[in-house]
Amino acid sequence: MKSEELFTTAKTCLPGGVSSPVRAIKPYPFYVKSASGAVLKTEDGASLIDCCMGYGPLLLGHANPVIQKAIEAQLDAGWLYGTPTKLEIDLAQRIIRDHSSIEMLRCVSTGLEATLAAIRLARGFTGKCGIVKLEGGFHGAHDAVLIAAGSGATTHGTPDSLGVPPSFAAQTRQVPYNDTEALEELLSKDKEIAAFILEPVMGNIGPILPDDGYLAAVREITAAHDVLLIFDEVITGYRLGIGGAQKKYGIKPDLTTLGKITGGGLPIGVFGGRRDIMELISPSGGVYNAGTFNGNPLSMAAGIATNVYLHENESLYGKLDEKTRAIEESLPAKASGSFVRLGSLFKYFFRSTAPGNYLEAKQSDTAAFRVFFEHALKSGVFIPPSQFETNFLSTAHDASSMEKIISVYQHV
């Protein structure tokens, strides 16, 4: 197999043979040669229906012609200037129009950079150092949030990686998702919390959905304790609909982070929010943020094309919801697990009931998931290789793609 040979070579020059841990599929990963629509073509000559979609951002499928045309046009004009462009103004205005909570924003290169900058900004604005995150919540691999999940109602963080100073982790507290009592208890005791950062819908461990009233209560509690609320919508932004989870659930956070869907699948991150907070970002204020690729013209052009398309074809969100509903309704009666879906996000948990937080998700039968993953892959369907990663559909998943996906889920 060519992929096996490539992995053997990769291990000589890449740590673990991969560029990101989630790609380390055992005994070796498959290598993609090309992708179009909903299909991946591997170096081994296989065609796979993709239910990973770049871990979410490829809402319109691989090599979407509308986005490709915008990229090609920008390539002819150059792809890196290191100067302001009209493109960044255009995209910023569109994002602001789509989010009532965002009055100003800055474009960076990754979701990691966006969450890092939002946390730094929250600390600069409030003058406080502590932050709260969810147990199991992932906001990029930077020191402040690369913290192991605890098991109590409220926990102090411990580093989840070598190289993270314990003093950094000590500034991070954790609470369970869907537990407002734990959040209230923590904020009542600790007056040095600058912000609570959370995915409104847990995407990196799910999807795990908010209980009725949970997000509204979080907004009320954080406001009462003068703690900034940061919605990490790197996954849910533009994936759940124009305006993301905050529009769907009617919540107005103080700061928001967005990710690669905003750039049509190209490298981009966005952090934005209230004007009085955002004006602290340099050069207008004292919270530093900079990057040569901030506002990169290729990502801006792809983002504008994506935004225009979504506004012109907003009905696509309802059609994607129908597709995940079709998977759910086709599950065999003998299925003993739980199927969770929201719009184009979905996951089958090998657990009798849908998890409501990280610790419940971790009770899933990972061995059973592994058997299912291997069955899906052999059947020509690629799902994220972890029980704890969300599956995604795109507008490119046509009737034949859905037929194959549904046939795979007959074997859960």
Q: Is 114 exposed, middle or buried (0-12, 13-18, 19+ CB in 10 A)?
A: buried
The answer to whether 388 and 205 are in contact (CB under 8 A) is: yes
| Contact in structure between 107 and 295 (CB atoms under 8 Å) | yes
Mean pLDDT computed over 124-137: 95
SS3 state at 147: strand
pLDDT for the residue 157:
55
* CA terminus-to-terminus distance, the chain: 28
Strand pairing class (47-50; 39-42): antiparallel
Q: List Cβ neighbours of 280 (8 Å cut-off, separation of 6 or more).
A: 121, 124, 125, 286, 287
Distance from C-alpha of 72 to C-alpha of 60, rounded to nearest angstrom: 17
Lowest mean pLDDT among 112-121, 142-151, 255-264: 142-151
Phi, then psi, of 198 in degrees rounded to 5: -155, 155
Confidence band of 191 (pLDDT split at 50, 70, 90): very high
Task: Give the list of residues 6+ apart from residue 360 with CB closer than 8 angstroms, or none.
Answer: 351
158 and 148 Cβ atoms separated by less than 8 Å:
yes
Quote the pLDDT of residue 150.
43
Least confident of 137-146, 202-211, 315-324: 137-146
Q: What is the mean pLDDT of residues 178-191?
A: 97
Rounded Cα gap, residues 118 and 342, in angstroms: 26
pLDDT tens-place string over residues 228-240: 999 999 999 999 9
With 0-12 / 13-18 / 19 or more C-beta atoms within 10 angstroms meaning exposed / middle / buried, residue 76 is exposed
DSSP structural state of residue 209 = P
pLDDT number for residue 151: 38
In this predicted model, what pLDDT tens digit does every residue of 251-286 receive, in sequence order?
Answer: 999 999 999 999 999 999 999 999 999 999 999 999
With contact defined as beta carbons under 8 Å apart, do 157 and 324 qualify?
no
Residue pair 30/50 in contact by the 8 Å Cβ criterion: no
Is the CB of residue 344 less than 8 Å from the CB of residue 392?
A: yes
Stated as kind and residue range, the H or E segment containing 195 is strand 193-198
Least confident of 1-5, 56-60, 78-82, 279-283: 1-5
Kind and range of the H or E run holding 269: strand 269-273
Q: Reply yes or no on whether the pLDDT at 403 is more than 70.
A: yes
Confidence band (pLDDT; 50, 70, 90) for 182?
very high
Region 152-162 average pLDDT? 58
Residue 27, C-beta contacts closer than 8 angstroms, at least 6 positions apart: 4
The letter for the amino acid at 381 is V
Mean pLDDT across the chain? 94
Q: How far apart are CA 229 and CA 118, in angstroms?
A: 10
Distance between CA 260 and CA 309 in Å, rounded? Answer: 16
pLDDT top residue among 255 and 136: 255
Q: Read off the pLDDT band of 158 (50, 70, 90).
A: low
CA distance 280 to 121: 7
What is the helix (H) or strand (E) element at residue 76, kind and residue range?
helix 65-77
Secondary structure (DSSP) of 361-392: HTTS-HHHHHHHHHHHHHTTEE--SSTTS-EE
**Separation CA 353–CA 199 (nearest Å):** 21
**In the prediction, which pLDDT does 246 show?**
98
Q: For residue 342, give the H/E element and its range.
A: strand 338-342
| Whole-angstrom distance, CA of residue 136 vs CA of residue 388 | 10
- Are 226 and 191 a contacting pair, CB within 8 Å? no
Is the per-residue pLDDT at 95 higher than 50? Answer: yes
For the chain, state the CA radius of gyration.
21
- pLDDT per position as a tens digit, 22-34: 888 889 999 999 9
Q: pTM of this prediction?
A: 0.95
Residue 291 confidence (pLDDT) above 80: yes
Q: Are 346 and 365 in contact (CB under 8 A)?
A: no
Strands (E), 135-281: 147-148, 155-156, 158-159, 172-175, 193-198, 228-233, 255-258, 269-273
Our CA dihedral for 356, 394, 138, 305, rounded to 10 degrees, sits at -140
